[in-house]
A and B are shown apart, each in its own frame.
Chain A
Amino acid sequence: MLEQWLNSDAVFLTVALLASTLRMATPLGLAALGAVYSERAGVINLGLEGLMLGGAFFGILGSYLTGNAWLGVLLAALAGGIMALLFALVTLRYKANHVVAGVALNLLGLGFTTVLLVAVWGNRGKSPDVAGIYPIYIPYLSDLPIVGELIFRQSPFFYLLIILMILSWLFFYRTKWGLRLRAIGENPAAVDSLGIPVFTYKYLAVIAGGMLAALGGAYLSLGELSMFARNMVSGRGYIALAANILGNWNPIGVVLASFLFGLANAIEMNLQLYGWPTQFVQMIPYVVTMFVLGGFVRKVQAPKALGQHFDRSNTNM
């Protein structure tokens, strides 16, 4: 009886659907976690798309140069950190508008990855295939019915996402540094008056955010395709930003929101095969975004000082 049920089409299709959901959600979740760090420090990060693209490119480059995909991941995170440092300098030191600087970062990401693609491989479209990061089968657990296939045969990036989600939550809600960072996003002047180095926190948070977003990009290139293709992030950075808002700037919330978007995506792809009108079906992820933001947005609370420039000379203490 149980055997029969486990082998039924409905179970097979559901498991396949949820497995697609996790694959689609992983890059969104990593980038959305990155957004949490940056935005909790008061810096709007519209540059996720560019950071992810940078991560996707340098992940492949690192793997290409060293032959080791994990060194590629390391290089991706480093590159994301450096791009984010540039973003932090522009927004924090030179007080550029966060949104404008974020858009610039996206344009920069697309432009320089394409230029480097030509410079390194002489091809404008894609890189050659490199060693990638493949799903791992966790011994014993992966043989379990349903959950085995669903959870224990995933890409290492998926496990990384779950671990980083938990660590981030602990950081934000169980450490004094996390408390300070959250306070900086609400009222930097008050934190500054306590003698806490506000700018150091902001810089580090933006850099950490860039590294996480780059990991999301590296998942797409190293984890999914073992190659880089031009503009391959294809708008996921913006969806990740929406997931960050929907998840209420909370590490667990944003990852759950990413799963929701991943599910919408997976449903869209499956319904297409059943002959549903494509244009209608393709709206689903976006309608979900609008619906959810529209319905829940009153309950979400952005950091109060988000997008504002903090300047010690302006604080009248």
Chain B
Amino acid sequence: MSGKKTFLVVISVLIMAVCVCAQFRVGVVFATGGLGDRSFNDSGYEGVKRAEKELGIAFDYVEPQAVADFESHQRAFAQSNKYDLIICLGFDQADALKKVAKEYPKQKFVLIDSDVDAPNVAAILSKDHEKSFLVGAFAAMLTKDTKNFKQMNSAGKIGIVGGMPIPLIKAFAAGYTAGAKYIDPKIEVYEAYAGGWSDPAKAKEQALIMYSRGADIVFQAAGGSGLGVFKAAKQAKKYAIGVDSNQNYIEPDHILFSAVRRLDNVLYNQIADAMKGQWKPGIYKLGLKEKAVDYDLTKSNLKIPTAMVEKVEELRGKIIAGEIVVPDKLEDVDAFLKNVKR
């Protein structure tokens, strides 16, 4: 009798051990902004966390402090040979990953925001210009809505503060400008870059300058620096637009909505695909159609008029149907406006 019991215990321990070994393991190398940015990294973390809960994966993560650290962190994960999937967040991991992916050809990698072409890398780009187009369209309508929003003026000016003038962030500016001018060609868009991702004091000053020149709404695409834009909106009693994750709760009386990217969906899907053996390398551009980007009105105390939401939803439909192809470069905006059917 006791022999049988021991046998059962041994078997169950063995089964558990096998489960632990077979557990799907994911390694995450975050971008230098680190967790707590309430934006890019946090949104990715949410997706992996959801996969942990719903798919039962295990994961480890590192938060490199500098671009120079990426390579050693990626290699450490790959070398351990413990991880089924290694996820790298941020365009500036690309150079490191080109090297590391070649050294470990059997290791599967996911890279967010850059296009490394390798047989073991799924490189995922987000069509940030599409969500920026939608919030730009909103902004163009709202900035003239002096009836519902007491603090708006009729100058028809809006702004965007980016982190750095790199193509990735310029795509935000391009989509935003195109969306605003699609609604109203006379809208003027101020554009400035803080020169870094962790300088809220400077981004605040830049937004204040825009507000003092008549802008009502400033969109931020500046990571941690962008928190300064919200402070400026509060101080100037104006409006701001959040980015990447839903930031509306930070200043619910001043943030109209956020242009979110659903990095959580993207990472969750990547992990799920890899578990099912359906994971494929390649370069993917995901936008409104794939639900990789969106806007989020919840958690703000400001109510957006329904007619505007309907108009923007109509635009979403046109983008998904391919009737509107949003430009991702500022120099293409003029041509877009000339040729687009309204």
List residues of chain A with CB under 8 Å of any chain B CB: 16, 20, 23-24, 27, 110, 114, 117-118, 123-126, 220, 224-227, 229-232, 234-235, 265-266, 269-270, 272-273, 275, 278-279, 282
Q: Are A234 and B198 in touch, CB under 8 angstroms? A: yes
Which 8 A-B pairs give the minimum distances between C-beta atoms? A124-B36, A125-B36, A234-B199, A278-B165, A272-B192, A231-B198, A224-B201, A124-B35
CB distance from B326 to the nearest CB of A (A): 21
Given the complex, which residues of A lie within 8 Å of B192, measured CB to CB? 269, 272-273, 278
Given the complex, which residues of B lie within 8 Å of A279, measured CB to CB? 165
Q: Among residues 1 to 38 in chain B, which have CB atoms less than 8 Å away from a CB atom of chain A? A: 34-38
Q: Does B327 interact with chain A (Cβ within 8 Å)?
A: no
Main secondary structure, interface of A, reads helix
Q: Are A282 and B195 in touch, CB under 8 angstroms? A: yes
Within 8 Å by CB of B204, from A16, A225, A278, lies: A225
Q: A123-B36, A279-B165 provided; 5 other pairs, C-beta below 8 A?
A: A126-B224, A269-B192, A269-B205, A273-B190, A273-B213
Answer whether A269 and B206 are a contact pair too, CB < 8 Å, given A229-B227, A230-B36.
Answer: yes
Given the complex, which residues of A lie within 8 Å of B228, measured CB to CB? 224-225
Q: Are A20 and B209 in touch, CB under 8 angstroms? A: yes
Q: Are A225 and B200 in touch, CB under 8 angstroms? A: yes
Q: Are A232 and B201 in touch, CB under 8 angstroms? A: yes
CB distance from A86 to the nearest CB of B (A): 21
Q: Among residues 194 to 217 in chain B, which have CB atoms less than 8 Å away from a CB atom of chain A? A: 195-196, 198-202, 204-206, 208-210, 212-213
Number of interchain pairs (Cβ within 8 Å): 91
Q: Among residues 89 to 137 in chain B, which have CB atoms less than 8 Å away from a CB atom of chain A? A: none
Answer whether A16 and B196 are a contact pair too, CB < 8 Å, given A126-B227, A225-B204.
Answer: no
Q: Does B77 interact with chain A (Cβ within 8 Å)?
A: no
CB distance from B4 to the nearest CB of A (A): 49
**Nearest chain B residue, comparing its CB with the CB of A269:** B206
**Nearest chain A residue, comparing its CB with the CB of B192:** A272
Q: In the complex, A186→B299 CA distance in Å?
A: 61
Q: Are B231 and A226 in touch, CB under 8 angstroms? A: yes
Within 8 Å by CB of B191, from A235, A272, A282, lies: A272
Q: Are A16 and B200 in touch, CB under 8 angstroms? A: no
Q: Does B176 interact with chain A (Cβ within 8 Å)?
A: no
Most A CB contacts (10 A, CB to CB) among B195, B196, B199, B202 go to B195
Q: In the complex, A47→B192 CA distance in Å?
A: 30
Within 8 Å by CB of A234, from B35, B202, B204, lies: B202
Q: Are B199 and A278 in touch, CB under 8 angstroms? A: no
Within 8 Å by CB of A225, from B42, B210, B227, lies: B227
Q: Does B193 interact with chain A (Cβ within 8 Å)?
A: yes
Answer whether A232 and B200 are a contact pair too, CB < 8 Å, given A123-B36, A279-B165, A282-B193.
Answer: yes
Number of interface residues of B (CB under 8 A): 31
CB distance from A54 to the nearest CB of B (A): 16
Q: In the complex, A24→B199 CA distance in Å?
A: 12
Q: In the complex, A250→B304 CA distance in Å?
A: 55
Given the complex, which residues of B lie within 8 Å of A266, measured CB to CB? 205
Answer whether A224 and B210 are a contact pair too, CB < 8 Å, given A234-B196, A273-B192, A282-B195.
Answer: no
**Nearest chain B residue, comparing its CB with the CB of A275:** B191
Given the complex, which residues of A lie within 8 Å of B227, measured CB to CB? 126, 225, 227, 229
Q: In the complex, A224→B213 CA distance in Å?
A: 20
Within 8 Å by CB of A16, from B37, B202, B212, lies: B212
Q: Among residues 221 to 279 in chain B, which have CB atoms less than 8 Å away from a CB atom of chain A? A: 224, 227-228, 231
Within 8 Å by CB of B198, from A230, A265, A275, A278, lies: A230
Can you name 14 A-B residue pairings with CB atoms under 8 Å? A16-B209, A16-B212, A124-B36, A125-B37, A224-B228, A225-B228, A226-B231, A227-B231, A229-B198, A230-B198, A269-B206, A272-B191, A272-B192, A282-B193
Q: Are A230 and B199 in touch, CB under 8 angstroms? A: no
Q: Are A24 and B34 in touch, CB under 8 angstroms? A: no
Given the complex, which residues of A lie within 8 Å of B35, measured CB to CB? 124-125
Q: Are B198 and A24 in touch, CB under 8 angstroms? A: no
Answer whether A229 and B34 are a contact pair too, CB < 8 Å, given A23-B205, A273-B210.
Answer: no
Q: In the complex, A232→B226 CA distance in Å?
A: 12
CB distance from B242 to the nearest CB of A (A): 14
Most B CB contacts (10 A, CB to CB) among A27, A110, A231, A265 go to A231
Given the complex, which residues of A lie within 8 Å of B38, measured CB to CB? 125-126
Q: Are B34 and A125 in touch, CB under 8 angstroms? A: yes
Given the complex, which residues of A lie within 8 Å of B212, measured CB to CB? 16
Given the complex, which residues of A lie within 8 Å of B202, measured CB to CB? 24, 234, 265, 269
Encode B311-323 as 1/0 by CB contact (under 8 A) with A: 0000000000000
Q: In the complex, A234→B201 CA distance in Å?
A: 9
Q: In the complex, A265→B206 CA distance in Å?
A: 10
Answer whether A230 and B193 are a contact pair too, CB < 8 Å, given A269-B205, A278-B165.
Answer: no
Answer whether A225 and B201 are a contact pair too, CB < 8 Å, given A123-B36, A272-B191, A272-B193.
Answer: yes
Given the complex, which residues of B lie within 8 Å of A110, measured CB to CB? 65
CB distance from A28 to the nearest CB of B (A): 11
CB distance from B189 to the nearest CB of A (A): 10
CB distance from A284 to the nearest CB of B (A): 11
Q: In the complex, A234→B227 CA distance in Å?
A: 14
Given the complex, which residues of A lie within 8 Å of B208, measured CB to CB? 20
Given the complex, which residues of A lie within 8 Å of B209, measured CB to CB? 16, 20, 269-270, 273
Given the complex, which residues of A lie within 8 Å of B205, measured CB to CB? 20, 23-24, 266, 269
Given the complex, which residues of A lie within 8 Å of B193, measured CB to CB? 272, 278, 282
Given the complex, which residues of A lie within 8 Å of B34, measured CB to CB? 114, 124-125, 230
CB distance from B133 to the nearest CB of A (A): 21
Q: In the complex, A16→B165 CA distance in Å?
A: 24
Q: In the complex, A275→B331 CA distance in Å?
A: 13
